[in-house]
Structure 1
């Protein structure tokens, strides 16, 4: 898993993947680390968080984070399959929307997200690192 995360943030000095945290996420009914495997090789992953809100009745929303496809396997619809699984799951639990953030420098990723039906013009994302 660490190798995939390193492909997403190759120069990060603060990246720290802890197996116990991955296990804790797996046990949490509102958080998911989904993976794409082929012949035992981990080729992609995405994190999905389901969040409650008060604005749309009982309908939650999903947040997609850390969508990563192994750099040697990009262009093979792996990312598309991961996002389709996320969308199918979110529909099955009546989510109101799915949101994701992407680094402003990742133009190729933005094109992919737009092809998958996500709009980069609807909202403006903000982050504050602590």
Structure 2
């Protein structure tokens, strides 16, 4: 049975394993715990996990951002979407996405936005099935090196 719930500190090792699958390398566990604690203290963040029989097999994070235009309603940014390769095509991603959408509705978000790497074609099919539409926009990213 799949349950969707906020991720607790006891699941950080499993979360780090999922992130390694997402980005192709490890995340520093000390930095992960520090960032996790900060996120848990900030009500704008929702870090959800999909647990199957107690095992963390998927996760995504939503961040509510306040907008300053139009009706000045907030919007949600989704990041770090990952479902274990061992558990794909079982409805886990859909349950996670639906749970984040519910949070966005509760917080009166006007829209949800996220980016996905152009090579993640299977993920794009999933997003479109969930009702997300590809918008032709230019995306830009600048990686900042630490000083």
User: What is the TM-score of this pair, normalised by structure 1?
Assistant: 0.90
Match of 1:129 in 2: 143
Q: Deviations over 1:29-71 (max 9, x none)?
A: 1112111112220011001100001113241000000110011
Query: Which moved further from structure 2: 114-123 or 61-70?
Result: 114-123
**RMSD of the TM alignment (CA)?**
1.5
Match of 1:72 in 2: 86
Q: Using the TM superposition, give the Cα deviation of residue 122 of structure 1 relative to its aligned residue in structure 2, in angstroms.
A: 4.5
Secondary structure at the aligned position of 1:75 is classed as coil
Taking the TM superposition and a 5 Å limit, the aligned residue runs for 1:23-102 are 23-102=37-116
Secondary structure at the aligned position of 1:123 is classed as coil
Q: Where in structure 2 are there 5+ consecutive unaligned residues? A: 1-14
Q: Deviations over 1:72-125 (max 9, x none)?
A: 000001000000011111111110100011111111111111111111225332
- How many residues matched? 128
Indicate how the Cα distance of structure 1 residues 106 and 7 shifts in structure 2: closer, same or farther if over 3 A, else same: same
Which of 6, 12, 16 does residue 28 from structure 2 map onto? Answer: 16
Residues in 1 aligned to 2:111 and 2:118: alpha-carbon distance in whole angstroms: 21
Indicate how the Cα distance of structure 1 residues 116 and 23 shifts in structure 2: closer, same or farther if over 3 A, else same: same
Residues in 2 aligned to 1:93 and 1:112: alpha-carbon distance in whole angstroms: 24
Q: Where in structure 1 are there 5+ consecutive unaligned residues? A: none
User: What is the TM-score of this pair, normalised by structure 2?
Assistant: 0.81
Secondary structure at the aligned position of 2:100 is classed as helix
